[in-house]
């Protein structure tokens, strides 16, 4: 990045500092990852210079001979990898992609039913502070108070009484698997579309360690930068019959020109995700999450739903008498990066909730395994137990730095 350093040393230095931070910390935010150098190179390529409104073979600008080929390759890779009939690779990210799906298939005021935000759902699934909760009629199902799992009978009852036009399955903080088959049955019983938002778990589905929604959902949406390990972007997968509506909603409905550098980088990530190594990666993500969960349970932590069967863990810190925000801040000072999070039926407010959320996609990309998860669990325990002891936290920060440097992160030069 020598030219960047020469032209803009201020931003160069901040990027370098962030790079060092990414190398020297244990990154447990479940939606983050490390992309490969190949993905970084496509993202930073000259494709950033282009405008190409429209779709391959149907553009509003000339000069698309290479862009059309690139986008077509990426679409075909996504169709093959997920077994989808149609794929749109242009959404800028997950929320615009979800808005495009709603715009394509719903009328204003139609019922939109998703998992409530405090129970692990996403803002764009109809929460009131999002456009999705105002433009369409929000309906929310919750998790069971005891098991913290989706109660499919409650979903069915609610769907029958509220008659949503679309049901969404998917979450940002749900540590268990989704039963897409039951969701599909419920959607059909009430004449609703089923949207599966697999942003968090796309890489696990590709690896075969989470059930696949494609046979059951009308539309599948995923971001491309979480367990799928691509650039910041999104894709919409759907059946052929609704493809024209979906495409029209993305462009010209919601967006202008696609970000071609991102499209190409998504293609690189899809190629990488088609490899046997990626399957091993996905399996290890889940094994690592289970190992971390077991270590935390053994150390007296309470986990939402009692554990995990995917890539993420939500800790309820109530019994440790530490609030989530303070815990996440202290862990960050120790070099362990996570986020504070609500727990189901949280008596506290979202800006200062009772829990923290952890995930293993990024640490697994660095080659860490079960043994390292046990070490990370021990550090988390120590930080929470000595939350006001800056000497202990500084000592752990030194250990974490040294430890992290032993695990090269894809895409970063160490």
Nearest distance, CB of residue 53 and ligand DSN, angstroms? 26
Q: Where are the beta strands (DSSP E) in 259-327?
A: 302-303, 312-316
Tokens of 291: 């190992």
Nearest distance, CB of residue 205 and ligand DSN, angstroms? 16
Q: Is 31 in the site for ligand DSN (CB under 6 A)?
A: yes
Nearest distance, CB of residue 31 and ligand DSN, angstroms? 3
Catalytic residue among 19, 24, 32, 53: 53
Nearest distance, CB of residue 195 and ligand DSN, angstroms? 15
Cα separations in angstroms, 406 against 30, 148, 346: 21, 37, 38
Q: Give the HSE-up count for residue 341: Cα atoms under 13 Å, Cβ half-sphere.
A: 27
Distance CA 356, CA 331 (A): 10
Site for ligand DSN in 122-181 (CB under 6 A): 122, 172
Q: Is 360 in the site for ligand DSN (CB under 6 A)?
A: no
Distance CA 362, CA 407 (A): 11
Q: Helix, strand or coil for residue 339? A: strand
Q: Kindly state the number of chain residues that form the binding site for ligand DSN, as judged by CB under 6 A.
A: 4
Catalytic residue among 51, 68, 156, 248: 51
Distance of CA 77 to the CA centre of its chain: 20
Contact 267, 42 (CB under 8 A): yes
Distance from first CA to last CA of the chain, Å, rounded? 15
Contact 70, 267 (CB under 8 A): yes
Choose between 172 and 260: whose C-beta lies nearer to ligand DSN: 172
Diameter of the chain measured on Cα atoms: 63
Q: Is 224 in the site for ligand DSN (CB under 6 A)?
A: no
Choose between 54 and 91: whose C-beta lies nearer to ligand DSN: 91
Return the axis-axis angle of helices 370-385 and 276-298, rounded to nearest 10°: 40
Catalytic residue among 77, 226, 229, 357: 226
* Among 51, 145, 103, CA closest to 346: 145
- For 144-183, the DSSP string reads -TTT-SB-HHHHHHHHHHH--SEEEE--SS--S---HHHH
Choose between 122 and 229: whose C-beta lies nearer to ligand DSN: 122
Q: Give the HSE-up count for residue 352: Cα atoms under 13 Å, Cβ half-sphere.
A: 4
Choose between 94 and 233: whose C-beta lies nearer to ligand DSN: 94
Q: Is 185 a catalytic residue?
A: no
Nearest distance, CB of residue 118 and ligand DSN, angstroms? 14
Q: Is 308 a catalytic residue?
A: no
Q: Is 53 a catalytic residue?
A: yes
Choose between 31 and 90: whose C-beta lies nearer to ligand DSN: 31
Q: Helix, strand or coil for residue 131? A: coil
Nearest distance, CB of residue 193 and ligand DSN, angstroms? 21
Residue located via tokens 């968090």: 200
Q: Is 232 a catalytic residue?
A: yes
Choose between 120 and 184: whose C-beta lies nearer to ligand DSN: 120
Choose between 32 and 151: whose C-beta lies nearer to ligand DSN: 32
Q: Is 51 a catalytic residue?
A: yes
Catalytic residue among 71, 197, 218, 247: 197
Tokens of 404: 């992290």
Catalytic residue among 172, 223, 224, 308: 223
Nearest distance, CB of residue 95 and ligand DSN, angstroms? 7
Near ligand DSN by CB under 6 A: residue from 94, 164, 203, 282 = 94
Cα separations in angstroms, 388 against 8, 49, 331, 371, 414: 39, 50, 11, 28, 32
Q: Helix, strand or coil for residue 79? A: helix
Catalytic positions are 51, 53, 197, 223, 226, 232
Binding site for ligand DSN (CB under 6 A): 31, 94, 122, 172
């Amino acid at each position: 990045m020598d030219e960047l350093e020469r032209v803009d040393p201020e931003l160069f230095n901040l990027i370098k500092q962030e790079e060092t931070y990414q190398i020297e910390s244990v990154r447990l935010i479940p939606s983050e990852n490390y992309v490969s150098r190949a993905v970084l190179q496509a993202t930073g390529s000259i494709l950033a210079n282009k405008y190409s409104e429209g779709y391959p073979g149907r553009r509003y600008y000339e000069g698309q001979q290479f862009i059309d080929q690139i986008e077509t390759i990426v679409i075909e890779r996504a169709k093959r990898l997920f077994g989808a009939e149609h794929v749109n690779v242009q959404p800028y990210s997950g929320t615009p992609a979800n808005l495009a799906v709603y715009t394509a298939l719903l009328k204003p005021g139609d019922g939109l039913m998703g998992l409530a935000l405090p129970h692990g759902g996403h803002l764009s699934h109809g929460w009131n502070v999002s456009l999705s909760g105002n433009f369409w009629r929000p309906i929310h199902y919750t998790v069971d108070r005891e098991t913290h799992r989706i109660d499919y009978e409650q979903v069915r009852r609610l769907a029958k009484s509220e008659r949503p036009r679309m049901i969404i399955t998917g979450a940002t903080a749900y540590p268990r698997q989704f039963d897409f088959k039951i969701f599909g049955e419920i959607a059909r019983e009430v004449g609703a579309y089923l949207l599966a938002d697999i942003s968090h778990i796309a890489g696990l589905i590709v690896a075969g360690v989470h059930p696949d929604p494609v046979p059951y959902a009308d539309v599948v949406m995923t971001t491309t930068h979480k367990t799928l390990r691509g650039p910041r972007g999104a894709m919409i997968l759907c059946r052929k019959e609704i493809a024209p509506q979906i495409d029209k909603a993305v462009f010209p409905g919601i967006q202008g020109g696609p970000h071609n550098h991102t499209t190409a980088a998504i293609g690189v990530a899809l190629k990488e995700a088609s490899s046997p190594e990626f399957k091993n990666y996905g399996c290890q993500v889940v094994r690592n999450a289970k190992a971390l969960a077991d270590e935390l349970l053994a150390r007296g932590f309470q986990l939402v739903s009692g554990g995990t069967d995917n890539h993420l863990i939500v800790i309820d810190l109530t019994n440790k008498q530490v609030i989530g925000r303070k815990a996440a801040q202290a862990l960050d000072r120790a070099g362990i990066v996570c986020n504070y999070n609500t727990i189901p039926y949280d008596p506290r407010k979202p800006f200062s909730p009772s829990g923290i959320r952890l995930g293993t996609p990024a640490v697994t990309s660095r080659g860490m395994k079960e043994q390292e998860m046990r070490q990370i669990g021990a550090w988390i325990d120590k930080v929470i137990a000595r939350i006001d002891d800056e000497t202990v936290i500084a000592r752990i920060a030194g250990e974490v730095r040294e430890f992290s440097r032993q695990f090269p992160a894809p895409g970063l030069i160490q």
